[in-house]
Structure 1
Amino acid sequence: MTTASDLPTLAPRPAPRAKGRNVMAVASGKGGVGKTWFSITLAHALSRAGRKVLLFDGDLGLANVDIQLGLMPKTDLGSVVAGRMTLNQACVPYTEGGFDILAGRSGSGTLANIPLSRLQLLGDDLVVLSNSYDKVVVDLGAGVEKTTRNFAQQAGTIMVVTTDEPTSLTDAYAFIKVTHMERPGTDMRIVVNMANSTREGERIYNTLLKACEGFLKISPQLAGVIRRDLKVREAIRNQTPILTRSPNSEAAADVEAIVERLLRT
C-alpha cells in the first residue's frame, strides 16, 4: 500500500509574476528609430486625453528622457537601485506635460549591470507603482538585453517602433520573436515611425507582419503610422515636447491618433 510518505515530493512551482495591465512598454530592435521621442509624445498625448500618466525611463544603459526634455531631476532610478528611496519617491512631476517622470541616470552605464534578482524586484515594484496611475509608459532600451526583456515582461502592451530601414525591420522582428518565445500571447503592436506617407507606413508594417505570420504564426496589429516631420527634429533640438512646440504638426496628430485608438481598446 502506498502512503503519502512514499510519494515523490514535488517542488512548489513559483507563482507567476504579476503584470501591469496599464503598463505600456515602448521597444525597438535598434536605436535611432525615435523610440524615446515616441515614448515622451505618447505619455504627453495620454495626459492631454485626461489620463494620469507616468513616464518611466527603462533604458538603464543610455537613459535620455530627461535630456530630450531639458530636465535635471534631483532624483532618478540610480537612487532607487542604491536603496536611498522608493520608486514612488523618485517620481517627479513634469508640469509642462502634465505627467510624472521617473528618470534614468544619464551618462552612466552602471545600472545596466545590476544583478538579475535586483532587476526583477525593480520590475515587480514598477507593477505595484502602476496601480497609482491610469497609464505607465516605459521607454525600454534598444535590443533584447536582459534589462529590456525584464521590463517588457511587466507590460500589458508592448509598442514596437520601427522604420523602413532593413536593419530596423530585422531587429524589430528579432525583438518580437524573443518576446513571443518568452511570453506567448503578449499584446504587441507595431508603430511605423518616420514614414514618407501613411500608405508607405502601412506597406512597411505589412512587410513585418508577413514575417511574423510566416515564421512565428502571430499577427501583431498596427498601432499606427507616424509621418516624417521636420517639426520632430526641431522639438528634440529645443528639448521641448512636440505637442507643446508644434501641436498641429503631422507627427503630433499621428501620435494623438494612436492614443485615441489605444483608449478605445
Structure 2
Amino acid sequence: MNAIRMIQVASGKGGVGKTWFSVSLAHALAGAHRRVLLFDGDLGLANIDVQLGLSPRHDLGDVISGRVALAEAIATYRPSSMGGAEAGGSFDILAGKSGSGVLSALTRPEIAGLAAGLAALSGTYDHIVSDLAAGLDQSVMSLCTNGGVTIVLVSDEPTSLTDAYAFIKLLTMQEPGADIRIVVNMANDRDHARRTHAALTNASRNFLGIEPSFLGFVPRDDMVRDAIRHQMPILFRHPQAKASEAVRKIAGEILTLSARNPRPPEIATRPA
C-alpha cells in the first residue's frame, strides 16, 4: 500500500463526533512527528476553528472568492502550556466558513478544483485529514475521491448505522475499490464496538459485496465533552483519558498501514 496521505473522515449522520475525532486524529498524528493538515470540509457548517478556539485570518470563503490562494489560507495550530510555551503536536488547519451560503452552494467544477488543490498540497504533508460534512451531497462524495483512506465514524444508534451504510453504498458506486475503514465512537467497550462494526459489515457484505475493515473504537469518556467545552484537543487537555489513548491507537494503526512508515514511531502519551 502507498503511504496514506489523504484521510477522509465521514459519517453519513451528524452528531456522532466526527469533527472532534478529526481534530483528535490530526493532533495524534502530529504528535507522532508527522506533518499534518486538517481540512474543514464541512462546507457551510464548518466548526473546527470553533473547537480549537481559533480566529484564522483567512478561510475557504477567501479562497473561493479569489482573495487568497489555497496555500495562503492555511494557519498553524500550536497547543500552548499554561505558561504560554508551545506544547508540541502542532498541525496546520485550512478552516471553513460557518454559515456561508457561498461554500454550501459550490458547483461541481468548483468542488473538483478544491479537491485537486488538496491533492496538490499532499506533497507538502505526510497526512491531510479532511473533516467532511454529514450527509450524502455531491461535495462530500467529491472530496472522497482523492485516494487514501476514508474513515466512516459510527455509533450504535440505528440511524447512524443506516446512514453510514448509505454513505458506503454511494461511495463504492462512485469509487469502486475505495479503502473504507470503520471507527466506532462512544462505545461501551471493545466488544460493544465489535458488535456495532459487525452490524454494519454484515449489511455491506450481504448487499454490496464488501467488508469495511475495523480500524478501532473510542470509548465513552466524559473528558471529551470537557475538552470541547474548553476548546482544546483532548490529547492536550486530558492526555491520559481513555478517549485520548484510543485515538492514539487508531493513529498508530494508520501509521502501520502506511508503507512510508512500516514501523510507526511511538506516539507520546502526553504533550512534549
Q: Calculate the TM-score normalised by the size of structure 1.
A: 0.91
Aligned partners of 1:27 and 1:142 also within 8 Å: yes
**Residue 195 (structure 2) aligns with:** 203
Q: CA deviation at 1:109?
A: 3.3
Structure number with greater Rg is 1
Aligned partners of 2:46 and 2:97 also within 8 Å: yes
**Residue 229 (structure 1) aligns with:** 221
1:183 aligned to 2:137? no
1:37 is matched by which residue type in structure 2? W
Q: Structure 1: where are the runs of 5+ without partners?
A: 1-19
**Residue 132 (structure 1) aligns with:** 124
C-alpha distance in structure 2 between counterparts of 1:131 and 1:181, whole Å: 28
Q: CA deviation at 1:153?
A: 1.1
Aligned partners of 2:151 and 2:183 also within 8 Å: yes
Q: CA deviation at 1:156?
A: 1.2
1:84 aligned to 2:67? yes
1:94 aligned to 2:68? no
Q: CA deviation at 1:36?
A: 0.2
**Residue 243 (structure 1) aligns with:** 235
**Residue 206 (structure 2) aligns with:** 214
Flag as ranges the 4+ runs of structure 1 deviating above 6 A: none
C-alpha distance in structure 2 between counterparts of 1:84 and 1:108, whole Å: 16
Aligned partners of 2:4 and 2:254 also within 8 Å: no
Aligned to 1:44, the other structure's residue is in SS state helix
Q: Calculate the TM-score normalised by the size of structure 2.
A: 0.89
The CA deviation string for residues 110-169 of structure 1, in whole angstroms up to 9 with x for no partner, is 201011111111111110011100000000000111111111111411000000000000
State how many pairs are aligned: 247
Corresponding residue to 2:32 among 41, 49, 72: 49
Corresponding residue to 1:32 among 15, 20, 23: 15
Aligned partners of 2:28 and 2:247 also within 8 Å: yes
Aligned identity (percent) is 50
Aligned partners of 1:34 and 1:193 also within 8 Å: yes
1:254 aligned to 2:246? yes
Aligned to 1:170, the other structure's residue is in SS state helix
1:53 is matched by which residue type in structure 2? V
1:51 is matched by which residue type in structure 2? R
